[in-house]
Structure 1
Amino acid sequence: MLQIRNLTYTIGERILLDHINLSLHPGQRLGLVGPNGTGKTTLLRILIGELQPNEGSIQKPRDYTIGYLPQETLAFNQGTLLGAVLESKAEIQKIELEMQDIQHQLSNGHENDSALLNRLGALQDRFALLGGYEAESEAKKILMGLGFKETDFFSPLNKFSGGWRMRAYLARILLVKPDLLLLDEPTNHLDIPSLEWIENFLRTFAGSMVIVSHDRFFLDRLAQQIAELNRGQLKVYAGNYHFFEQQRQKEQELLLKKWAEQQEEIERIQRFIDRFRYKATKAAQVQSRIKRLEKLQRIEPPDENKTIHFKIKASVTSFKDVLRIRNLFFRYPEQSAWLLRDINLDLYRGEKVALVGPNGVGKTTFTRLITGELQPLKGTIALGERVQPAYYAQHQVDALNLQHKIFDEVQAHAAPEFQGKVRDILGVFGFSGDAVEKKIGVLSGGEKARVSLAKILLSPANFLIMDEPTNHLDLQSKEALEYALKDYDGTLLLISHDRYFLDKLVKRVFELHNGTIRMYEGNYSDYLRLKEIRRSNEKLQEAGAKAKLQESGLKPAKKSKEQKRLEAQARQAISKQRNILQKEITLLEEQIEQMETQKAQLESELAKPETYKNQERAVQLKQNYSHLEEQIARAEERWEKANMELEALLQKLNEMIQS
C-alpha cells in the first residue's frame, strides 16, 4: 500500500498541493480529475520521485514498483518495437544472456563442468520465477491488443509516429505489472478498438492504478473512486465519474445555499454596524457584532468552474440532401488494394453522424475526399444545394496565420452574427483576458488546435466535418462543445475516439470496415449493441455451416459428440441473438412512442396561427417536424426488420430443438 501524508508543493508563491492525504490499496482504481493546471501531472511526478514536495511524505514498501505513462515520451525511440518493450524486463534479459553464454560453453567442451551446470539450473529457476518463458508471448499479446501487427514487432521504433511510440511505451509498462500504475491521459493516442482492449486488460490488473483522463467513458468503465484536485485540495468520491458528477453537483448546490445564507447574515450584521457605529448607546452592541464578524469562519464561495454554454447556428439553411456518394473507390499510389471501395451513402440536413473504425482504416482519407482535398479514383461525391462545409482536423493548424493575434485570427473568419461572441468562445477554449492578444506563432500545438476549432465553430458553415475535435480539450471545454453541437441546426459528421462525446451527440453511426461502410441507427451505445447482433449472427452462420459439414458425413440416426457440440453452439448463438433482438425491439418501440409524442406537440404548434408571426421560428419548427418524420420512418423500418429477424430466429431455434 502507498500512503501520501500532508503533501505540499508550491511553485513560487502559488500553492499547487496543500497538505493532501491519500491511501492507495492493491487493486484500487482511482480516477484523478480537476481543471487544467491544478497539479494532477505534478502529483504523479512527485509519486515517481521526479519532483520533490515542500512538505509531507510518501510511504511505500521497500520493493514497491511504479509504472508511469507520461503525456509525452520523446526519448523512447531506440531499438526494435518488441525489443524496446522487452527491455522493461531487464533482469530477465540479463539472465537470458548469461544462460546463452553458459549453454555455449557447455556445448564447447565443458559439458561436465558441475559449477556451470549448477549455475545454469539456478538461472533457469530464476528465469521461470520471473516469467521469462512467457515474457515475449505476453509482450506480443499486449502489442497486438494495442493495435500493432505481427509485422511491426521487429521494425525500428523510430519509424513509428509519436502516438504509436506512446502505445509501445504503454505496452512496456503493462508488461512489467508494477504495484502502482500511473496513467496520464492514456487514451489520447488510442483508437476505439484499442481503448476497448485496454479497458478489459486494466480491469484484470492486480495492482493499484491512478488515471488522469478527460475521457469520461474511460473513467466510467474503470474508476472505482474519483479524486478531485482543485484549489490545492484533494477530495475522494466513491464510484465512477458519472456518480462523482452527481455527488459534486449536490455538494455545490448545498454549498451555494450555505454560502448565500452566510452572506445574508454578514450583510445584516454589517448594516447594524454601519448604522449604529457612531451612537454611544449602541457601542457595546456594535463591538460585539464586529467581534462576531472577525471570529466568523467564512464559507468559501462555490467553485466557478461550471461549463460555459454557447450556441452556434448555421448561417444558411441547406436543402434536404447534404451529401450523396455513389460507388466511391480510392487508394493511394503506393497501395495495391483499395483503401475505400464501392461506398454509397446519403447524408441529410440536420443529421449528426459518427464515422468510426480503427486507426489506419481510412477515416481521415474519407473526410478529405468529401472536402475535395483528395479526388476519388472512381465514383462520385456530391454536396447538395446551399451546402457550406467546414473541416476541422489536426493539420488545419497549418492554415493559421502565425503573425496574427488569436482574437484577430478568429474574428476574421467569424460569421457576421458571431462577431460579438468571439471573446466568449475563445474563453471556453482557454483563452481569457489578455491571452487573446497572443500571437499564433508563440502557441503550443494544442493551443493552435483550439484556435482552429474556435474558427470552425464561428464560421458561417452549415455542414461541419470534425476529425477528433476533443483531443486538446479539458472536461469543461468538452462539455461546452458538446452542448453547442447538440443544439446545432446544421449537419455534423464526426470522427472521435471519445465515446461519451459520440453517445451524447450522434443519431447514426457509419463504421468503416474493410474499405466499406456499415450503417447503424442510434447513438454509440446503440451501435455497440447492434454490432454485437451482427457478430452473433456471423458466429451463428459459422456454427451452422460447421454443423452441416459435419452432418454430411454421418448417418442421420446417430450424431457424433462433435456434431452435438456444434449444434449446441449454434443454439446458444441463436438464443443470445434472440435476447439482443428482443431488447432492441423494446427500445425501438419506446423511441417511436417518444418521437410520436414530440411529433404531436410539433403538429399542435404548427396548427397555431400565432406560430407564423415569427417566420424564423416557423421555419425551424417545420424543419424539426420533417427531420422527426425521417427519424420515425427509419426507426419503424428497423423495428419491422428486427421483428422479421426475430421471427426467423425463433423458427430456426424451434427446428433445431425438434431435430
Structure 2
Amino acid sequence: MSDASSPPSGGQDILSADHRSAHLLAENLHCVLGDREVLRDVSLTVSRGERVGLIGENGRGKSTLLRALAGALTPQRGQVVRAVTGQVGFLPQQPEFPADSTIEDVLAQATAEIGELSARMRAAEERMSCDEGDLDAVLEEYGRLQEEFARRGGWELGARIGEVLDVFGLAGLDRARRIRTLSGGERTRLALASLVLTEPAGLLLDEPTNHLDDRAVDWLVQWLASYQGPCLIASHDRALLDTAVTAIVDLDGPKGSTVRYGGGYRDYLDERAAARERWWQRYREWSRDLAEARRRLHRARAGSRVFAGRGDNDKLSYNAMGSAAEAAVARRTRAAQQHLRELLQEAVPPPPEPLDFASPQATDPADEVQEPTDGVLLRATGLKVGEVLRGADLALAAGSRHVISAPNGAGKSTLLSVLAGERAPDAGVVECAPGLRIGYLPQDSDFGAERRGLLEAFAARRAAHVEDAAAELTRFGLFGPEDFGTPANRLSVGQWRRLELALLFARRPHLLLLDEPTNHLSLVLVEQLLEAVERFTGPVVMVTHDRALRERHRDRLLELSDGRLLGPAGPAPRA
C-alpha cells in the first residue's frame, strides 16, 4: 500500500453531516523540522468542490502542510480536521510502498471497495440459487448491491484500469512486477493511478504532474475538473494551475500567512500585479509625506532660530506675547519631529525592481560586442559529442529566439554546455563574435561545496567589492541583507537557483543559454524571469519541459532528433 492510500494517523477524522459540507481544515498549524520553523500558525480550509492550488517560495512548507493534512506528520500545535465521508487520498512527491508489493497488489488495494461489492453480489447470487433465506430480502439486497456496483463503475472496472495504466505510461509493465524494481517516476505515476482508481473523498496532491508527459497532464486536468471532493494541489505547473484549480493560495509558512486568490493562475497574476501597483502607490504616498514632514521640520527649526538669535536689546523688550510665540514654535518643532519619527518607524520600502537584463552601464564601450557583418553572434557547426550530438548546427543572431524540445537523454543539456564553452565537443566548432558575453543558466545549481557566506561567495565569483556585490544581490529582491551571512552550502535548492540567477544578471550578457529556466523557482519569479527574457534584445536559446513556456514559443521550437537540430520543416535555421 502506498502513501496514496494509507489511512491518516494524525488529526481528527469526522463524518460530514451532509456531503455538501465536506472539507479539509488546518487551523493554526505550527511545525518545526529539526531546528527549522517551517509552519507557524498557518490556517487553511478547502471545501467540497474546491480545487485549491497551493503555491509559494521553495522551503515555505507546502509539502509539510500537505503531510500534516494527510496525517503523515503530527504538528507541534494546531488542529487538523478531515470532515469527509470516506478516505482522503495523499500523493507525496516520493511515494512509499510496502516491501515486496507488486503492481497488482497496488491495483487490488485501489479497487478494494468495488472488489468487496463484487464478492457480496456473488454471495447473494449463491443464496438465491440455493433458495436460502427470505428470497425477497435477498433480491432487495442484490438490487442495492447492483445499483452501488454500477454507480462505482464496477462493470467497466477492467477497461478503466487499462485506460489509467495506459495514460500514465504503465500499461506495458508486468502487473506481477515488484514495486522496488520500478523507477522513481514509475512509482509516482503508479501512486497517482492508484488514487484515480480509488476516487477518494478528498485529495492532497504534491506536484502531481512531475514525471507526466503532456498527454497524461491533459488527462489528469480533465479528471480533476470533474472531481467533487475537497482538493489541495501543491504545484509549479502553470498550465495545471490555470486550467484545473478554482482558487490559488500563496503560502509563506514561516510567517504564518496564507493569502487566497480567487480563480485560476491568470487571475492570480492579475491580482498580484494590482497588489504591486498598490504597493508602489503606498510607497509614493509615503515618500511625499516624508518629504513634506522634513520641510515642516526645517521651517519649524528656522523659526526657532529667530528667537534663539535675539540680541540683548531684544531681550529687554521681550514680553508675554513673544514668549507665547516661541512656545508655539517649539510645539511645532516637536510635532514635526514626532511626525517624522513615526513615518520613519513605519517606512514603506519600494518594491524590488523587476528582473531586467538591461545593463546600467550599457553606454560603456567595453560592454559592446563586435557584431559581424552577417549579424551572427554565435555559430555552431557540425557539433558532435558521443552518441547524443551527431552534427548539430545552429546560428544565433540578435533577436533570435529558440526553444529546444526533445526527450530526456537526447542531448539538450549537452548542447547548451558546448555552446556556453563549458564543454569541448568531440568534433565541430563554436565561433563567437569578439567580446561576446554568454549568460549560461545550467539545469542544476549546486553550491554544496561552498562554505563561505552568500555575499562573500557571490562577491568572489563576481570579482567585485563587497559593497557592489551587496547592491547586485539585493537589486532584484532575490536576496535580502538577512541572507548575506548564510553559508552558501546551507541554502535551499531554490535559493541556489536564485544565486545562479543573480550571477547571470550581474554578468550583463549579450546572449542567453537557459537550461530548464523555470526549475526550482517560485511562480512569481518564473513570470518575472520570462518577462525579462522577452525584453532581452540578444539571442536566446532555452531548453524546457515547461508546457506553458513551450506553448508561448510554439513557432520557435527546435527539435533535437538523432543528434541534430530540426526546425518545423527541416534543419535548424542558419544565418
TM-score between both structures, scaled by the size of structure 2: 0.64
3-state SS, counterpart of residue 478 of structure 1? helix
Match of 1:223 in 2: 245
Match of 2:312 in 1: none
Shift of 1:510: 0.9
One-letter amino acid matched to 1:472: H
| Distance in structure 1 (CA, Å) of the matches to 2:422 and 2:26 | 58
1:511-550 to structure 2, matched below 5 A, reads 511-512=559-560, 517-520=565-568
Q: Does 1:244 align with 2:292?
A: no
Q: Does 1:322 align with 2:370?
A: no
| Distance in structure 1 (CA, Å) of the matches to 2:325 and 2:132 | 103
Q: 1:504 to 1:144 in 2, by over 3 A?
A: same
Tell me, yes or no, if the aligned pair for 1:146 and 1:198 is still in contact at 8 Å: no
One-letter amino acid matched to 1:479: E
| Distance in structure 2 (CA, Å) of the matches to 1:210 and 1:305 | 30
Q: 1:476 to 1:196 in 2, by over 3 A?
A: same
Tell me, yes or no, if the aligned pair for 1:315 and 1:415 is still in contact at 8 Å: no
Match of 2:83 in 1: 60
Q: Which blocks of at least 5 consecutive residues in structure 2 are unaligned?
A: 1-20, 305-323
Match of 2:397 in 1: 349
One-letter amino acid matched to 1:241: Y
Shift of 1:222: 2.3
Q: 1:352 to 1:191 in 2, by over 3 A?
A: farther
TM-score between both structures, scaled by the size of structure 1: 0.57
Tell me, yes or no, if the aligned pair for 1:464 and 1:490 is still in contact at 8 Å: yes
Selected match of 2:180 from 147, 158, 167: 158
Match of 2:13 in 1: none
Match of 1:87 in 2: 109
Q: Which blocks of at least 5 consecutive residues in structure 1 are unaligned?
A: 332-338, 522-629, 635-659
Match of 1:554 in 2: none
Shift of 1:44: 3.1
Shift of 1:299: 9.6
Shift of 1:474: 1.1
| Distance in structure 2 (CA, Å) of the matches to 1:149 and 1:367 | 34
| Distance in structure 2 (CA, Å) of the matches to 1:218 and 1:210 | 13
3-state SS, counterpart of residue 90 of structure 2? strand
Selected match of 2:539 from 486, 491, 497: 491
Q: How many residues align?
A: 501
One-letter amino acid matched to 2:394: D
Selected match of 2:192 from 159, 163, 170: 170
| Distance in structure 2 (CA, Å) of the matches to 1:420 and 1:84 | 57
Match of 1:382 in 2: 429
Match of 2:160 in 1: 138
Shift of 1:162: 3.3
Q: Does 1:467 align with 2:515?
A: yes
Tell me, yes or no, if the aligned pair for 2:28 and 2:40 is still in contact at 8 Å: yes
Q: 1:225 to 1:462 in 2, by over 3 A?
A: same
Shift of 1:496: 1.5
Shift of 1:150: 1.5
One-letter amino acid matched to 2:397: R
Q: 1:205 to 1:19 in 2, by over 3 A?
A: closer
| Distance in structure 1 (CA, Å) of the matches to 2:438 and 2:516 | 17
3-state SS, counterpart of residue 110 of structure 2? coil
Shift of 1:407: 4.3
- CA RMSD in angstroms comes to 5.7
Match of 1:508 in 2: 556
Shift of 1:242: 1.7
More helix by share: 1
Q: 1:33 to 1:327 in 2, by over 3 A?
A: closer
Q: Residues 217-275 of structure 1: CA distance to partner in whole angstroms, max 9, x if unpaired?
A: 33222233333445544444333222222234334534664686689789989979x99
Match of 2:47 in 1: 24
| Distance in structure 1 (CA, Å) of the matches to 2:248 and 2:145 | 43
Q: 1:410 to 1:251 in 2, by over 3 A?
A: closer
Match of 2:318 in 1: none
Q: Residues 366-407 of structure 1: CA distance to partner in whole angstroms, max 9, x if unpaired?
A: 55676685967xxx643224477675444563x864455544
Q: Residues 410-469 of structure 1: CA distance to partner in whole angstroms, max 9, x if unpaired?
A: 444448799945763488685543544444544555544554555555558755433223
Match of 2:202 in 1: 180
RCO greater where, 1 or 2, for CA within 8 Å and sep 6 or more?
A: 2
One-letter amino acid matched to 2:48: H
Selected match of 2:530 from 471, 482, 486: 482
Q: Which moved more, 1:208-217 or 1:304-313?
A: 304-313
Q: Which moved more, 1:165-174 or 1:358-367?
A: 358-367
Shift of 1:24: 1.8
Tell me, yes or no, if the aligned pair for 1:9 and 1:15 is still in contact at 8 Å: no
Q: Does 1:8 align with 2:57?
A: no
| Distance in structure 1 (CA, Å) of the matches to 2:438 and 2:401 | 14
